[in-house]
Amino acid sequence: MALVQLDLPDPVALRGRWAALAAVQAASGHGERCRALRPLWHYDDGHGSWADLHHLDEGRAVLLGQDRNDSETYYAEASDFFEEKETDLLAGAPEWWEPPVRRVRDAELFLGFVYGFDGSAWYRAEYELDDGFTSVGLPVLATALTRGKIVATVQRMPDSEGGRPAYEAIDALIAADGEVDAGLVAAVAPSADWDAEAGAAAARAFLAV
């Protein structure tokens, strides 16, 4: 079965936005929602929907996850659990997609989508169902989405008083591409409850790839 090509950014192109969002989340005390664990970059919305990007060798990567409400694809154990027809998310896929999938299954999590990057383009298995990727709303796919998520995070800080951080400060944080210091983080939201050092450390973790 042929794979379907997708229009998604190169994995490395996501680093600046992912690191900036991780910095803000960590500084606000919610670093578990967006972080780098060496070759694994994680994002979740705090409500059970998530996406993980696994960096592999030779520039390859696997992006997988699930929207807890909108994923209509049921892979492996999920098919039995929900008593739904299975969608084979690895149909036609090369063998190197499987280890990240196995890691998720070993953690007893369900999958809605599995996308593979072969060094030049993204692909997925062929199916017509909504796999939930769009509704997960991975904000690092675009600068505007990342800005919006950062603004929302800052405005939830107890002493933010609803203030919006300057886009210039957010864009500088993104442009640092992981090479972030506490000053860049503090410029986005200089709050008494803001741990800028933790934010900078979270961003620099993305440099390991």
The three-state secondary structure class of 84 is: coil
Q: Which two tokens stand for residue 176?
A: 């640092």
Question: Under a CB-based contact definition with an 8 Å cutoff, are residues 67 and 129 in contact?
Answer: no
pTM of the predicted model, to two decimals? 0.94
**Series of mean pLDDT values for 10-residue runs along the chain (209 residues):** 92 97 94 94 93 96 94 88 91 96 92 97 96 95 96 80 82 98 91 88 94
Question: Under a CB-based contact definition with an 8 Å cutoff, are residues 64 and 114 in contact?
Answer: yes
Question: Under a CB-based contact definition with an 8 Å cutoff, are residues 58 and 47 in contact?
Answer: no
Report how far residue 122's alpha carbon sits from residue 144's, in angstroms, rounded to the nearest whole number: 22
Report how far residue 39's alpha carbon sits from residue 10's, in angstroms, rounded to the nearest whole number: 15
